[in-house]
Amino acid sequence: MKKPTLLNHPPETTPPPGNAPVIAPIYQSVKYEFETVDETLQMLRGQKPGYFYMRASNPTTRQLELTLAQLQGRDDCLATASGVNAIAQTLLALTKAGDHVLFFIETYGPTRNIIRRLLARFGVENTMLSIEDLAGVENVLATRPTRLVLFESPTNPMLKVADIERLVELAHRHGALAVVDNTFAGFHQHGEYDIDLFVHSLTKYASGTGDVMGGAVIGRQELIDDLRPDFAVLGALLDPHAAFLLQRGLKTYFVRYREQTRNAQAVAEHLAAHPAVAKVHYPGLSTHPQAALAKKQMRDAGTVLSFDLKAGSEAARRFSENLQLFALTASLGSTESLVMAPQLMGSRDFTPDQARQSGMGPGTVRLSIGLEDVEDLLADIDQALATPPG
């Protein structure tokens, strides 16, 4: 073998049987081969396990998918390049011209955009209600054939808690799929409900460190198998190195989620007692309008909260800018605390009535609580609230 050939066909260094690596390697290869054409065809027909091309699947990504499926209590999973991509690919794969989608004012902004603009261009119709309007949900489903109901719980940024059991029952009674963006609740919650598909942004709690992006859709086997061909041709499979980092991040998932939830509870209680705060929105507070429902549905109240400052938008801007330990930026679930001012969360696609139903006011601030010492966070919040104008 000449040296140029050697460099393209290096010696194999696979560990021998009985000598497995403790951490699975990163399979950074686009292509995989069998020794014969017949074996390759058997794999492509689903008659033999294996891999052929990264856009369809990859061993590193597959390990992450199987981990997430088991964590959420479902059969299988498809990992994608981002959370929004998981939502977009799921909606594109599940709908066709003439279908109807029911979703909610409290839905994540990019998801609303996908439904109201992208799907609408392809003839998919939609209805948008408030997550609290169960009578409206029942009426729409009873009078209009609906392909799917898409909702979140808790919602972003007002932390409303959906009545999951009721929404899923209504969807199924009328022949619709129940699809839930479960990002805020995490992978360990809501699995006991008869939800058809869970969508997650892996960028948040799976990673925990805010340095890798990914998404996932999780569900029973037949639904995932139906989605798989469309996902493969749309071509947004998660990169194996990102999958490796996300799998590594999941090792500390429960430790992070539970500690950050404890911190969030302490911050919510502290803000609820502050004279500058009109209202705190957090499912772990007894004052939350759906506190009993949250306690029934959730093991942990989560790491995100929002609150309304009495003094309005400029006070909220000043507070957000004066925080020292909270990064003024988007996202959530990372180990550092984050803040979003109301000026960064505005919903330009809402009518005045829809804006009112959303619950968000001019002084609404969203906090994602991290792993800092909670006493430091409380002190930072107090100094930011006490900072005078100018």
Residue 359: predicted pLDDT: 87
Residue 231: predicted pLDDT: 96
Residue 72: predicted pLDDT: 98
pTM: 0.95
CA 288/CA 160 separation, integer angstroms = 9
CA 279/CA 285 separation, integer angstroms = 11
Residue 352: predicted pLDDT: 87
Q: Domain residues of the chain, as ranges?
A: 37-250, 253-386
Closest by Cα among 107, 116, 112, 217 to 154: 107
- Print burial letters for 40-65: b (CB count within 10 Å at least 16), e (below 16): beebeeeeeeebeebebbbbbbbbbb
User: Which CATH topology does 37-250 take?
Assistant: Aspartate Aminotransferase; domain 2 (3.40.640)
Residue 390: predicted pLDDT: 65
Residues in the chain: 390
> Taking the chain, what is the end-to-end CA distance rounded to the nearest angstrom?
75
**Alpha helices by DSSP H, 144-179:** 164-173
Q: Is 213 left (phi over 0), alpha (psi -120 to 50) or beta?
A: beta
CB 324 within 8 Å of CB 382: no
The CATH classification of domain 253-386, taken from the options 3.40.50.300, 3.40.190.10, 3.30.470.20, 3.90.1150.10: 3.90.1150.10
Residue 348: predicted pLDDT: 76
Q: From first to last of its 390 residues, what are the pLDDT tens digits of the chain?
A: 999 899 899 998 989 999 999 999 999 999 999 999 999 999 999 999 999 999 999 999 999 999 999 999 999 999 999 999 999 999 999 999 999 999 999 999 999 999 999 999 999 999 999 999 999 999 999 999 999 999 999 999 999 999 999 999 999 999 999 999 999 999 999 999 999 999 999 999 999 999 999 999 999 999 999 999 999 999 899 999 999 999 999 999 999 999 999 999 999 999 999 999 999 999 999 999 999 999 999 999 999 999 999 999 999 999 999 999 999 999 999 999 999 999 999 777 888 898 888 989 999 999 999 999 999 999 999 999 998 876
CA 296/CA 249 separation, integer angstroms = 28
